[in-house]
Structure 1
Amino acid sequence: MSNGLETLFSEKRIVSMDELYELIQTNIVQQIGPADCVALANAYNFTGSKDVEGIIACDKLLFSMKLVKELREAACRSGTQMIKCISSFVNDDILIEYNEAIKNSKTPGTHAVVIGVVSNSLGIEKQKAALHFLYGFSVSMVGAALRLG
């Protein structure tokens, strides 16, 4: 997922490494940090307190904040695939209940919220989970830029 990089590239609005760095930084500061990482952290905490309704509320709120349809869909595809994979080998009641809510279309299964739930279930520290999410975002943007030339 390139988060609109193709358009910026084709319009020649991003032509240098410095501009790509600025785009990644802006996305992290204005969207990924205050929305996705906050939802991830809250989902992590709700998982620890076994509050599936809190997880679902975070998930729905983050979904509603993603105004671009393609970004919403990509976030949900990534999240549902991740939880599907992790659920095949992790036996955790909250993870299972949240996964069932996704399967039954009671919640969208956004990637950031899934990472929060999965990370707690696997015993990964909250800060490391957020750093993993930020790293994944950054790598996907750099990868897209490399493919675009």
Structure 2
Amino acid sequence: MTHRTTEGAGTRLATSPPPETGGLESLLAHLQLTDSGFPSGLYTLSHGLEGHVQLRLAGAEDLPVLVSDLVRAAGTSDAAALVLAHRAVTADDWDRLLETDRRLHAIKLNREQRTASVRTGRQVLDSAGPAFASAPAARLARLVADRTTPGNHGVVVGAVHAGLGVPVEHAVAGDLYAFAASCAAASVRLGRIDFRRAQALLREIRPDLVRAAGVALAARDPRDLHSTVPAADAVSAVHERAEARLFIT
């Protein structure tokens, strides 16, 4: 089925995305996209943890609260944008997807986080073709290449998941878990905790992930997106000027 949709200044024919199936093939695609081995570039990010460590604001005992705060912030920003992007692709409402992407970009208050979000989003788009043959990803990649939209990570992942038929609840839960796992892995690489403590950390913040997913799923409009951890923004602003960095955030 095809119909017309508006993108920027032009009008193009759009192909409706596949329906949400939630079947085994969709599950496997979901696991592939959220796996730590997928080349999204998340391994290059500490999500602000390195800055906290450099400023001596985060010891091992502080990590649960810090990661919990970061997860909460993701629920009102990147995760909520993922949900809105997923719904937009499912409804074939690309104007709403573009609005969501631009809003998410606007609420990222420091350059380091904005740059990282776009960089990892574009890496997902580059890999989505050979990995999934995703029509929504290909279309979004063209819009990003044309500079019609930034291509933030949360929006890209939401679009790809929708095209794969992954239910939105699974998509946002999996992406939030991938975010938390990335925080735990960064904490290990920064020497704050070992691998066993990292697994315990993921167990401890599981209720926070559930709450963040619920907040994200409650989003109905791009104006619902907002940032909630100004201290993390301040730390990131210092981190981008650090003389030595293991991570890009």
TM-score > 0.5 by shorter chain: yes
- Does structure 2 conserve the Cα–Cα contact (< 8 Å) formed by 1:40 and 1:113? yes
Q: Deviation of residue 102 (structure 1)? A: 0.6
Summarize the Cα distance change of 1:146–1:91 in structure 2 as closer, same or farther, 3 Å threshold. Answer: closer
Rounded to whole Å, the distance in 1 between the matches of 2:71 and 2:188 is 19
| DSSP-derived class of the 1:71 partner | helix
Q: Deviation of residue 11 (structure 1)? A: 2.2
Judging by fraction of residues, say which structure has more strand. Answer: 2
Q: Determine if the alignment matches structure 1 residue 23 to structure 2 residue 66.
A: yes
Q: What do you get for the CA RMSD once the two structures are aligned?
A: 1.3
Judging by fraction of residues, say which structure has more helix. Answer: 1
Q: Determine if the alignment matches structure 1 residue 4 to structure 2 residue 45.
A: no
Q: Describe how 1:1-149 pairs up with structure 2 within 5 A.
A: 1-16=45-60, 18-29=61-72, 31-88=73-130, 89-92=132-135, 94-149=136-191
Rounded to whole Å, the distance in 1 between the matches of 2:79 and 2:187 is 23
Rounded to whole Å, the distance in 2 between the matches of 1:134 and 1:108 is 21
Q: Deviation of residue 95 (structure 1)? A: 3.2
Rounded to whole Å, the distance in 2 between the matches of 1:129 and 1:146 is 26
Q: Deviation of residue 91 (structure 1)? A: 4.4
Rounded to whole Å, the distance in 2 between the matches of 1:113 and 1:69 is 18
Rounded to whole Å, the distance in 2 between the matches of 1:87 and 1:58 is 23
- Greater Rg over alpha carbons, structure: 2
* TM, length-normalised to structure 2: 0.56
Q: Deviation of residue 74 (structure 1)? A: 0.8
Q: Deviation of residue 142 (structure 1)? A: 1.3
Q: Which residue of 1 aligns with 2:207?
A: none
* TM, length-normalised to structure 1: 0.91
Structure 1 runs not aligned, ≥5 long: none
- Does structure 2 conserve the Cα–Cα contact (< 8 Å) formed by 1:52 and 1:97? no
Structure 2 runs not aligned, ≥5 long: 1-44, 192-249
Runs (4+) of structure 1 exceeding 2 A deviation are: 94-97
Q: What fraction of aligned residue pairs are identical, expressed as a percent? A: 29
Rounded to whole Å, the distance in 1 between the matches of 2:156 and 2:88 is 12
Aligned residues, how many? 146
